[in-house]
Structure 1
Amino acid sequence: MRVAVLGHTGFLGKNVLEVFSQAGVMCQGASKSQGVDLRDYEQVVEFLATSQPDIIINCAAHVGSFNYVTENASAVVVDNSRMTLSVYEAMAKVCPKATIIHPLANCAFPAKAEFFKEEEWQDGPVHQTVMPFASTRRLIWSVGQSFAISQGINSIYLLVPNMYGPHDSSDPNQTAVLDALISRFLTAQQTHQNEVTVWGTGVAIREWVFSRDLARLMLTIAATPRRPELREPINVAQNSGLSVRELVDIIQSALGFTGQVRWDHSRPDGALKKVMDDTQFKKVFPEFQFTEFSDGIAATIAYYKSLIQFAE
């Protein structure tokens, strides 16, 4: 099995390389930082012609925090759209029999939805705070379906909750919410700060997936990518969520942080609830076991401790 990972130097991409390597599957990676601009059709053609993959895992995305996406809205839309079009056009030319696996952030679900069912994922507009990025997640599906009709390309769409885990960025503007909280509290603890500011009111509820779990799932899918039940988008779901306040309590307890938390109510909470229906996931992947949340948090804290070092 020949595997190509797009965006292999990013958060999810690094986890995919690690998990696949541990399973004895070597991957070839492509990312802008390593000389392949996925927005450029010719560069994507050259990469795919060289790697000749059977499986393509699309971890590439131009994304960041709420604030980052708002401040860079046009670039987020343009870059992600160009990457999608370039990748599919290049696949059609070079490797139309390959399967491409897309992890799609669940911000693509309608803003009005609180319990996310696959059959309803495009039944209404996305939340305005994430529109520049979320709209491009829906575009991936539209383009993929069109290339399936005209070129026979096989695409798999995994609707994914918020991720956390090792290998996320240390840049607050680029970091996933939970990892950013861990980084912020750890920094405060190690620099002897007595207060940490958290955006919003803390009431927003989110579902979470450990980054290595998502990578393990994609390894499972890569072994049998043409299963009929994977033709439609599927939730990577556990049907459970935690509020931001609950997350903060868990992080404080895990770190032993005794300072104060200040909630900045001037900042948006975003959608108030995002929990995913796991009915279909359990049917398709009945044996898959997710990492216990406490173990995932411990691994993530250990990762950030290795990054954030301060002199005593």
Structure 2
Amino acid sequence: MRFWTGRRVVVTGGAGFLGRRVVALLEAAGARVVAPRSIDVDLTQPGHAERMISEHRPSEVFHLAAQVGGIGYNLAQPAPLYLANLLMGTHIIEAARLGGVDNTILVGTVCSYPKFTPVPFAETDLWNGYPEESNAPYGIAKKAHLIHAQVNALQYGQRFAYIIPTNLYGPGDKFHPSVSHVIPALIKKCVEAAEVGASHVDVWGTGSASREYLYVDDAARAIVRAGEVDAGDGPLEPINLGADREVTIKETVETIAELVGFTGELRWDPSKPDGQPRRGVDGSRANVVLGWKPEMSFDEGLRATIDWYLANRAEAERDPHA
């Protein structure tokens, strides 16, 4: 970690769920970190990223800023979801190139993988089909950043890393219904049901879909590490981050219900979408290139997330659009 001592680093999205962890790790390692807020730097607008890079002159840029939400948000707001994410990454990549940034670390999304990708997803599967429909606008916008970085690397020598974490969770996650993903949404439902003694909890889908959940602190370690190393023989290829465990939505909600003390019925609604049928990644390249492996077990990570939620409910449930 001595690599970071005194280095100037910009982290977009540094106030977000994942970004706060990345900023904390970099600062602990001695980096001088700037984490601009969207109110000050609107990365969707031309010129803002260039001015940010010119002002701070970082040696590394971590692009974590994103406009995200769960299935419901994805279905309701696909156009702004696509456009905002596409523009932010496009502007950052070009600004970093023009500003002479040494390394640009881009965070993609597992939503970019094709809907029916064989499990575990290998990085070479990324272009073998269309993403699951509710995830496609976000996933394709993020895939465009990979192409942009690759062609810039080939033509201009721009150095980058492209990291694809699977579903993140942990303390500090977003629990407001407009943006919450599966784990915080289910924790909120089960906690509230347990508190009022409800007889049942309604859950979207059939429960048969699977996900692979990665604890946010494990992801942050890998992302910081990606800024330190040369990817060797495959510098243009993405790197998956996974937890080596595929979990069904049914098992997920049953585990959460048990941990929060909800003993009622889990009532499934098959008229609602399951999302991608299966999701689990091959994380072997991260181990080889980054020397990284996840450390947090699923049950321990869920307990930590639930404990944080119960202690910070006002913050956790804050409407990000208010």
TM-score by length of 1: 0.91
| 2:134 paired residue among 129, 137, 142 | 129
- Structure 1 position 5 matched with structure 2 position 45: no
Secondary structure at 1:3's aligned position in 2? strand
| 2:236 paired residue among 231, 235, 241 | 231
* Mapped contact 1:196–1:261 kept (Cα < 8 A): yes
Q: Percent identity?
A: 27
**CA–CA distance in structure 1, aligned partners of residues 231 and 56 of structure 2:** 21
| 1:264 paired residue among 250, 263, 269 | 269
**CA–CA distance in structure 2, aligned partners of residues 53 and 26 of structure 1:** 9
Change over 3 Å in CA distance of 1:236–1:230 after alignment to 2:
farther
**CA–CA distance in structure 2, aligned partners of residues 151 and 130 of structure 1:** 31
Matched residue count: 307
**CA–CA distance in structure 1, aligned partners of residues 133 and 113 of structure 2:** 12
1:90-239 aligned at under 5 Å gives the runs 90-94=95-99, 96-115=100-119, 116-225=121-230, 227-239=232-244
Letter in 1 for 2:16: G
Q: Please list the CA deviations of residues 216-256 of structure 1 after superposition, one character each: whole Å capped at 9, or x if unmatched.
A: 11222223356444431111134320001111111112112
Change over 3 Å in CA distance of 1:21–1:258 after alignment to 2:
farther
Give the match for residue 68 of structure 2: 63
Secondary structure at 1:274's aligned position in 2? coil
| 2:37 paired residue among 24, 31, 35 | 31
* Mapped contact 1:154–1:226 kept (Cα < 8 A): no
Q: Please list the CA deviations of residues 273-307 of structure 1 after superposition, one character each: whole Å capped at 9, or x if unmatched.
A: 11112332332344534211122111111221122
Residue 191 of structure 1, CA deviation? 4.0
- Structure 1 position 80 matched with structure 2 position 55: no
**CA–CA distance in structure 1, aligned partners of residues 18 and 191 of structure 2:** 22
**CA–CA distance in structure 1, aligned partners of residues 196 and 260 of structure 2:** 13
Give the match for residue 25 of structure 2: 19
Q: CA RMSD in A?
A: 1.9
TM-score by length of 2: 0.89
Residue 190 of structure 1, CA deviation? 3.1
Bigger mean CA offset, 219-228 vs 202-211: 219-228
Give the match for residue 4 of structure 2: none
**CA–CA distance in structure 2, aligned partners of residues 70 and 283 of structure 1:** 37
Letter in 2 for 1:106: V
Letter in 2 for 1:149: L
Letter in 1 for 2:201: V
Change over 3 Å in CA distance of 1:253–1:19 after alignment to 2:
farther
Residue 21 of structure 1, CA deviation? 3.3
Change over 3 Å in CA distance of 1:132–1:9 after alignment to 2:
same
Residue 51 of structure 1, CA deviation? 1.8
